[in-house]
Chains A and B, each alone.
Chain A
Amino acid sequence: MERHEAGGKQEALRKPFRWHILVFLLPAATVYTLVMIYPLAETLRLSLFREVDNSPIFVGLANFADLFFDSRWSDQFWNALWNNIYFFIVNMLVQNPIGIALAALLSIPRLRGRSFYRTAIFLPTLLSFVIVGFGWKLILSPLWGVAPTLLDFVGLKFLFAPWLGKEAYALTTVALVSVWQFIGLPMILIYAALLSIPEELMEAAECDGVTGFAQFWKIKLPLILPTIGIISILTFVGNFNAFDLIYTMQGALAGPNFSTDLLGTLLYRTFFGHQLQLGDPHMGATVATMMFLIILSGVALYLFVIQRRITRYQM
Chain B
Amino acid sequence: MRISNRSLTRSALVHLILGGYTIIALFPVILIAINSFKSRKAIFRSPLSFPDTDSFSLIGYETVLKQGDFFGYFLNSLSVTLVSLFFVLLFGAMAAFALSEYRFRGNTLTGLYLALGIMIPIRLGTVAILQMMADLQLVNTLWSLILVYTAQGLPLAIFILSEFMRQISDDLKNAGRIDGLSEYVIFYRLVLPLVRPALATVAVFTMIPIWNDLWFPLILAPGEETKTITLGAQVFIGQFVTNWNAVLAALTLAIVPVLILYVIFSRQLIAGITSGAVK
Residues on A lying within 8 angstroms of B by beta carbon are 2-3, 18, 20-21, 23-25, 27-29, 31-32, 34-40, 42-43, 46, 98, 101-102, 105-106, 108, 111-113, 116-124, 126-132, 134-136, 138-139, 144-146, 149, 180, 183-184, 188-189, 191-192, 195-196, 227, 230, 233, 237, 241, 243-244, 247-248, 264, 267, 271-272, 281, 284-285, 288-289, 291-292, 295-296, 299
Contact A119 B17 (CB under 8 A): no
Segment 14-36 of B: residues with Cβ below 8 Å from A: 14-15, 17-19, 21-22, 24-26, 28-29, 31-32
Residues of chain A contacted by B61 (CB below 8 angstroms): none
Query: In whole Å, how far is B4's beta carbon from the nearest beta carbon of chain A?
Result: 14
Which B-chain residue is minimally distant from A290 (CB atoms)? B124
Bound-state Cα–Cα, A264 to B124, Å: 9
Interface residue SS majority, chain B: helix
Residues of chain B contacted by A138 (CB below 8 angstroms): 32, 244, 247-248
**Stretch binding the partner chain, chosen from B63-71, B144-152, B168-176, B194-202:** B144-152
Contact A192 B273 (CB under 8 A): yes
Query: In whole Å, how far is A46's beta carbon from the nearest beta carbon of chain B?
Result: 6
The 9 A-B pairs at the shortest CB distance, nearest first, are namely A39-B125, A42-B128, A35-B151, A24-B98, A128-B212, A28-B95, A39-B128, A28-B91, A192-B274
Among A36, A129, A192, A196: residue with most chain B CB under 10 A: A36
Contact A126 B251 (CB under 8 A): no
Given known pairs A24-B97, A135-B29, the reply for A180 and B24 (CB within 8 Å) is yes
Contact A271 B126 (CB under 8 A): yes
Residues of chain A contacted by B122 (CB below 8 angstroms): 35-36, 39-40
Among A27, A40, A43, A248: residue with most chain B CB under 10 A: A40
In the complex, B8 has a CB within 8 A of chain A: no
Contact B258 A127 (CB under 8 A): yes
Which A-chain residue is minimally distant from B10 (CB atoms)? A212
Classify chain B's interface size: 35 or more
Residues on B lying within 8 angstroms of A by beta carbon are 11, 14-15, 17-19, 21-22, 24-26, 28-29, 31-32, 43-44, 47-48, 87, 90-92, 94-95, 97-99, 102, 104-105, 110, 114, 116-117, 119-129, 131-132, 147-148, 150-152, 154-155, 158, 182-184, 187, 208, 211-215, 219, 230, 233-234, 237, 244, 247-248, 251, 254-255, 258-259, 261-262, 266, 270, 273-276, 278-279
Contact A130 B127 (CB under 8 A): no
Residues of chain B contacted by A29 (CB below 8 angstroms): 95, 110, 114
Given known pairs A24-B187, A28-B91, the reply for A288 and B124 (CB within 8 Å) is yes
Contact B132 A118 (CB under 8 A): no
Which A-chain residue is minimally distant from B87 (CB atoms)? A31
Bound-state Cα–Cα, A180 to B182, Å: 51
Given known pairs A20-B184, A39-B125, the reply for A196 and B48 (CB within 8 Å) is no
Given known pairs A135-B29, A149-B48, the reply for A130 and B274 (CB within 8 Å) is no
Bound-state Cα–Cα, A145 to B46, Å: 10
Residues of chain A contacted by B120 (CB below 8 angstroms): 40, 292, 295-296, 299
Which B-chain residue is minimally distant from A244 (CB atoms)? B214
Residues of chain B contacted by A271 (CB below 8 angstroms): 126-127
Which B-chain residue is minimally distant from A291 (CB atoms)? B124
Residues of chain B contacted by A42 (CB below 8 angstroms): 125, 127-128, 131-132
Which A-chain residue is minimally distant from B121 (CB atoms)? A241
Bound-state Cα–Cα, A272 to B122, Å: 18
Contact A237 B121 (CB under 8 A): yes
Given contacts A128-B233, A281-B131, A285-B127, list 8 more A-B pairs with CB under 8 A. Answer: A3-B105, A25-B98, A39-B127, A117-B19, A124-B28, A129-B214, A192-B275, A288-B124
Residues of chain A contacted by B119 (CB below 8 angstroms): 233, 237, 295, 299
CB-defined A-B contacts under 8 Å, sample of 14: A25-B98, A31-B150, A32-B151, A36-B125, A40-B128, A42-B125, A117-B21, A123-B259, A128-B258, A130-B230, A135-B31, A135-B32, A135-B251, A292-B124
Query: In whole Å, how far is A282's beta carbon from the nearest beta carbon of chain B?
Result: 8
